[in-house]
Amino acid sequence: MILIADCGSTKIDWCLLDNGKVEKQVFTLGMNAVMLTEEEMRTCIAEELVPELAGFPVAEVYFYGAGCISDEVCGNVARAIGANFPDATTIEVHTDLLAAARALCGRQPGIACIMGTGSNSCYYDGNVICDNVSPLGYILGDEGSGAVLGKILIGDILKNQLPADLCAKFLKQYDLDRLTIIRRVYKEPQGNRFLASVTPFLIENIDRPEVHDLVLNSFKAFFKRNILQYKDYDKLSVNFIGSIAHYYRPVLEEAAAAMGCHVGTIIKSPMEGLIKFHTA
């Protein structure tokens, strides 16, 4: 049997396949492979996953996770998995960006992107990632992401760059004031998640020209600062995984057209594509 994992900081989606068909799907708490030790990851898997898969012979494991970007980190994850599934003959650990590429492009060349709380992109040759413009995080980069959209929105509201009625509506809807926002962004952990949490306000008010332009310009920046650097960006479709791409597709396509690009496949999560990739 094949076990595929799509790992984020919040949750892990584990999917067990038997002859290409989903035998069981399990959700466990997320793991940040950079922050946890091998022992801590081994314990998490033992306590949360192993009991759910008791009696199932796992032969292959393909684990994709944010933060799995170095041989050291990937080795820690692989050993933590191997300790819990000693009979597995294949254990592979890869970054979430390769998961996106494989889920979106399969074994064909293409440009694959992640656009959720953060953003990332790559040029994929159908086998490996050949080029990646560093996302740089929501302070220096992550254009088009939920965190950056939220950052621009809140900044415009606090600096009175949006109409007064929109500013008042936002602050009331989210029960926020300037001091609370500053504390949430600068003093509390995971400021990026807080910023991304207010993006529903944008989609709810996307018919307002000021909001539409805010989103459109952020997406244009994503294409300009990332996609236009890849080989054949104007010939290949640009494909996306993530909630922001899913919910804002019309504006994303508008931005792509303005930048000479074409949006292809958009899916909210990679699991369906990964299942197809590993069973084809």
DSSP string, 170-184: HHHHTT--HHHHHHH
Structure tokens belonging to residue 81: 């998995």
Mean of all residue pLDDT scores within the chain: 92
User: Is residue 274, in this structure, part of any structural domain at all?
Assistant: no
Asked whether residue 19 falls in the same domain as residue 154, the answer is: no
Asked whether residue 176 falls in the same domain as residue 236, the answer is: yes
Domain count, the chain: 2
pLDDT for 219 equals 97
User: Is residue 278, in this structure, part of any structural domain at all?
Assistant: no
User: Is residue 98, in this structure, part of any structural domain at all?
Assistant: no
Backbone phi and psi for residue 97, each to the nearest 5 degrees, phi listed first:
-70, -40
| Average pLDDT of the residues in 57-84 | 92
Asked whether residue 80 falls in the same domain as residue 111, the answer is: no
d(CA 28, CA 129): 28
Asked whether residue 8 falls in the same domain as residue 146, the answer is: no
Asked whether residue 172 falls in the same domain as residue 40, the answer is: no
CB 98 within 8 A of CB 105: no
Helices (H), 94-190: 96-105, 137-140, 146-158, 164-173, 178-186
d(CA 25, CA 9): 18
Residue 55 has pLDDT above 90, yes or no: no
User: Is residue 151, in this structure, part of any structural domain at all?
Assistant: yes
Q: Three-class SS of residue 148?
A: helix
d(CA 280, CA 278): 6
Residues 6+ positions from 273 with CB-CB distance below 8 Å: 102, 103, 104, 106, 267
80 — pLDDT class (breaks 50, 70, 90): very high
Asked whether residue 116 falls in the same domain as residue 174, the answer is: yes
Asked whether residue 165 falls in the same domain as residue 257, the answer is: yes
User: Is residue 275, in this structure, part of any structural domain at all?
Assistant: no
In this predicted model, what pLDDT tens digit does every residue of 217-255 receive, in sequence order?
999 999 999 999 998 999 999 999 998 999 999 999 999
Structure tokens belonging to residue 143: 């254009």
131 — pLDDT class (breaks 50, 70, 90): very high
Q: Domain of 11?
A: 2-88
Residue 257 has pLDDT above 80, yes or no: yes
pLDDT for 79 equals 95
Asked whether residue 6 falls in the same domain as residue 40, the answer is: yes
Q: What stretch of H or E contains 218?
A: helix 209-225
Q: What is the pTM of this model?
A: 0.85
Give the residue with greater pLDDT, 126 vs 67: 126
Residue type, 71: D
d(CA 280, CA 227): 29
Asked whether residue 252 falls in the same domain as residue 128, the answer is: yes
Asked whether residue 13 falls in the same domain as residue 151, the answer is: no
The CATH code of the domain that includes 198 is 3.30.420.40
Residue 138 has pLDDT above 90, yes or no: no
Domain closes at, from 62, 88, 114? 88
Structure tokens belonging to residue 159: 């600096």
